[in-house]
C-alpha cells in the first residue's frame, strides 16, 4: 500500500495543533482529519479519533505496522514543512 497524496491545511492559531492533514492510499482510499501536533518531543502525527463517553480518545483509523506509521509520519511532516515554507494556509 502506498501513500499517493498528502494534503496539509495549516492552522493560524498559537496552540499545540499545527495543522490538519489528509492522505490518499493507492489513489483509492482517503483518510482525513490527521493532526500535526507540537508535543514535548517535537512534531508528530495524530490519527483521526473520536472521544468516548469516559473522556478517552479512540483512533478510528491507524497504521498496523511500524513501517507504515513511520512512512505516514514522514510524508505528512514533509508536506507540513513544505506548506510552512510556501506560506499556504
C-alpha cell at 78: 514533509
Blockwise average pLDDT, block size 10, the chain, 89 residues: 95 90 96 95 96 94 95 97 83
Going along the chain from its start, the domains and CATH numbers come out as 3-83 (3.30.1120.40)
pLDDT at 82: 95
List b or e across 45-70, with b for residues whose CB sees 16 or more CB atoms inside 10 angstroms.
Answer: bbbebeeeeeeeeeeeeebeeeeeee
pLDDT at 5: 97
Amino acid at each position: 500500500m502506498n501513500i499517493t497524496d498528502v494534503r496539509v491545511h495549516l492552522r493560524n492559531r498559537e496552540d499545540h495543533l499545527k495543522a490538519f492533514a489528509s492522505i490518499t492510499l493507492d489513489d483509492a482510499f482517503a483518510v482525513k482529519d490527521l493532526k500535526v501536533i507540537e508535543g514535548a518531543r517535537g512534531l508528530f502525527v495524530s490519527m483521526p479519533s473520536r472521544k468516548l463517553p469516559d473522556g478517552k480518545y479512540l483512533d478510528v483509523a491507524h497504521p498496523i505496522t511500524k513501517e507504515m506509521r513511520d512512512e505516514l509520519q514522514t510524508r505528512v511532516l514533509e508536506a507540513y514543512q513544505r506548506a510552512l515554507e510556501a506560506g499556504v494556509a
